[in-house]
Structure 1
Amino acid sequence: MTIFEYRRFLLALCACMACGVLATVALVVIVDPYGLYRVVDRPGFNAVKPGLSRYQVQIKQAHALRLRPRVIILGNSRAEIGFDPAAPAFAAAHGTVYNLAIPGTGLGTSHHQLVQLLAAGVKPATVILGVEFMDFLALTSPSTASAKPAGAPDWQAPWQFDALFSLASVRDAIHTLRIQHDAEAATLSPAGFNPLRDYGAHVRIDGYHKMFEQRARENAATLKRKSVTALTQEDFQLLRALLVQASASDAAVKLVIYPYHAQWLAMLEAAGLWPLFEQWKAQLVREIAGVEASHPGAAITLHDFSGFGTYNCERIPAAGERNAATRWYWEAGHFKKALGDVVLARLLSQPGLGLDSSSLVANTRRIAAERLECMATQPGVFSSATKMFDPRDRPRGEKPL
């Protein structure tokens, strides 16, 4: 091969590589699997976006910075799956509503999200924050308490380049084209809501009973690692910082204690964690009062949707009822949009029903009364929860309260 031929070969090779790079970038930009570029948005082609499997925090934050929402929803997967920004309760909202909730994350992520929005000049008028009891529970093994939680976001990652130019992005672009007419594909709405369509396939194949059973085993394993004697103060500090930031920006904050299914609450009882659950609510009330005392203009309300009421005590289909469906819950870990719409309607239309120091006792009595009624109609929920916890399995030194 002559020098001239070698140069021609190198030029051809470089041209092929450049064309490959351009084709890759063009595919990702045009199909736009993450909704970042918005060059093309066509029904049947790329209007349906797949669920986020990477850069969840960063991509959702980029959407919020672009949309500049007046109402934001923060929390974990319960909030992402349950609270739809397109819910009727938001019909009167003045401005965009966006769901910033990220599965598997806690108050550290929520606080950082809010701080980033405020730093960019985005000042939401209303912040709806789901507070997760599990996040406030100390671990029985202190050596693992400081470990970085699974799914914790890396805020410094060079995600923009990787989201544009990577094989993973090409894969997600091709996947986007495939799911346009797939009613059971995992998706994410333009407003950040996850309709959990992929659960449809699990329900159709396994039925609701198996889904509840599997989630119960997972929850039991998690609860057995939690201390029954102490709450961790780190999350209270993060909550306080978030409330101060929101109040300083004149945002109204609505804290939501999720509408946990009766099965989950029965497991709290069986694990010996119910006294801490009550203690946690009382401390939330005190934290709010403390922020309001230092920021007189703060508008913070706490709403407790936990309990054993009609919604929470929804019947779990039996093992043989493969075609039986639930209305309010996917499983004890996640409530459906239908129940989320009910929660949002009450949250936004009944602002005077928040939980405070004057209503704590009445709230405890309400839940106790609901428990008796739920136990009478669904005794299996409580008996099965008790069987999952054997006192002999509790780590040495841990005693029920």
Structure 2
Amino acid sequence: MTASPFKSYLATLALLMAAGALLAGAFVAVVDPYGLYGFVLRDGFNAVKPGLTRYQNQIKQELALRRRPQFIILGNSRAEIGFDPRASALSALGAGYNLAIPGTGLATSASQFAQLRQAGVQPRTVIVGMEFIDFLNPAAAPAARPVAATTAPAPARAFWRFDTLFSLASVKDAVHTLRIQHDAQAATLTADGFNPLLEYGAHVRRDGYHKMFAQRAQESAANLRRKSTRGLATEDFHALRAFLLAMAATQADIKLVIYPYHAQMLAMFEAAGLWPLFDEWKAGLILAMGAVKAQYPDARISLTDFSGYGVYNCERIPAANERDSATRWYWEAGHFKKALGDIVLQRLMSPTTGAPGDGQFGMPLDGASLAQNRARIAQERGACAAAQPALFATQLLATQDSHSGGRR
């Protein structure tokens, strides 16, 4: 008895679909857009990897586990874009990996460290970018949510590994990988997790830095409008202490970094009424460190403040008609360039090393130095305001506009 033509058709179709899936998977595995397989790594073919647009945490975590880094960098997009693990200041530490993920906070950093520890990877040095905005409460209490509407758990390893091999999105990323090998303006990610932000080069050549800063200022004003000026989130300090305790238990050298916000961003903190909380936040970080050191007296934890209005932070923003003018230290107020990140890392590793004329950029903070640090920033502000008075007036108006919905 012969099979019906319909059954033969279904069998052929199933074989063709299976063959297509296997071919697609083989194509993705060979091109390797996420760096997960390593079958082929060839200049001009797939050596340049595209920036991650999905499974960022999972892929970075997987690559970090394979590298078994001696030091790691944690934080948000400021850290991912600003801190290069291959910076000369970090060369003596051995292999490193930048685990920073845009738009994430302490919970992600703590989870990343815990996963490394569970896998037997204990970095000797941990550099953590501290984000002031993450510790702010929302201006309005969030609406009550049903119990069922909780955050979805991270996808299981088997699922995301399958999806990064057998999916149309992965095929598209593989094709994109082939296209960007000779594109100096493509979004990429290095093998050690650093984002050089090459795509911004095309934006500034087209629009100029003034527009980049203006757009970021509008976004920041809208974000700050949603924050309360009445107090910090105490639960975030509890999470910080737990995270510090976990790191201290491994005897890691913990280096907390207050980002080098551009003066434009700090002026917006002032205009939004957040400056007292900024001071309070720094004191809270010091208290959290002290609580951990009380439990682990030999713990190596440092906090360095790179915020302020110094010569780097107060970099001049090109005017709207200066389309060809470039900045040296900042892409816009939200993100500093690798050039400044390298200086930050140098100060972290050699706190006493300074460049002539840059003041006290990178001031170690503890209970005894808080007042001195406050005086430093006030002095820097005076010099910055004298050099760029419009910067402070403009940010005040921008923040007021954001609070009034653009009506004056």
Q: What interval of TM-score do these two structures reach, taking the shorter chain for normalisation? A: over 0.9
TM-score (norm 1): 0.93
- What does 1:202-351 align with in structure 2 at a 5 Å threshold? 202-350=203-351
The equivalent of 2:18 in structure 1 is 18
- What does 1:2-401 align with in structure 2 at a 5 Å threshold? 3=3, 5-93=5-93, 95-143=94-142, 154-157=153-156, 158-350=159-351, 354-390=364-400, 393=403
Change (3 A) 1:153 1:259: farther
Describe the SS at the equivalent of 1:182.
coil
Structure 1: gaps spanning 5 or more residues: 396-401
Aligned-pair CA distance for 1:20: 0.3
Aligned-pair CA distance for 1:7: 4.8
CA separation in 2, counterparts of 1:124 and 1:215? 34
Kept in 1: contact 2:139–2:226 (CA 8 A): yes
Kept in 2: contact 1:57–1:153 (CA 8 A): no
**Match for 2:226: what amino acid?**
R
CA separation in 2, counterparts of 1:285 and 1:153? 33
Change (3 A) 1:226 1:6: closer
CA separation in 1, counterparts of 2:326 and 2:279? 32
CA separation in 1, counterparts of 2:78 and 2:212? 16
The equivalent of 1:398 in structure 2 is none
Change (3 A) 1:144 1:310: farther
Which is further off, 228-237 or 3-12?
A: 3-12
Kept in 1: contact 2:221–2:402 (CA 8 A): no
Aligned-pair CA distance for 1:201: 1.2
**Match for 2:312: what amino acid?**
Y
Describe the SS at the equivalent of 2:399.
coil
**Match for 2:399: what amino acid?**
F
**Match for 1:383: what amino acid?**
A
CA separation in 2, counterparts of 1:351 and 1:300? 17
Kept in 2: contact 1:223–1:271 (CA 8 A): yes
CA separation in 2, counterparts of 1:370 and 1:146? 45
Residues paired across the two proteins, number: 390
Aligned-pair CA distance for 1:17: 1.5
Aligned-pair CA distance for 1:3: 3.3
CA deviation digits over 1:56-89, x for unaligned, max 9? 0000000011000010000000000000011111
TM-score (norm 2): 0.92
Aligned-pair CA distance for 1:389: 2.8
Provide the aligned C-alpha RMSD in A: 2.0
Describe the SS at the equivalent of 2:228.
strand
Identity across matched positions, percent: 60
**Match for 2:331: what amino acid?**
W
CA separation in 1, counterparts of 2:386 and 2:135? 31
Aligned-pair CA distance for 1:221: 0.6
Structure 2: gaps spanning 5 or more residues: 354-362
Kept in 2: contact 1:184–1:199 (CA 8 A): yes
CA separation in 1, counterparts of 2:236 and 2:7? 63
CA deviation digits over 1:30-55, x for unaligned, max 9? 00000001111111000000000000
Aligned-pair CA distance for 1:391: 9.2
Aligned-pair CA distance for 1:237: 1.4
Aligned-pair CA distance for 1:358: 0.5
The equivalent of 1:399 in structure 2 is none
Describe the SS at the equivalent of 1:389.
helix
**Match for 1:209: what amino acid?**
H
Change (3 A) 1:290 1:92: same
Aligned-pair CA distance for 1:91: 1.7
CA deviation digits over 1:219-261, x for unaligned, max 9? 0011111111110012111111110000001111000000000
Describe the SS at the equivalent of 1:240.
helix
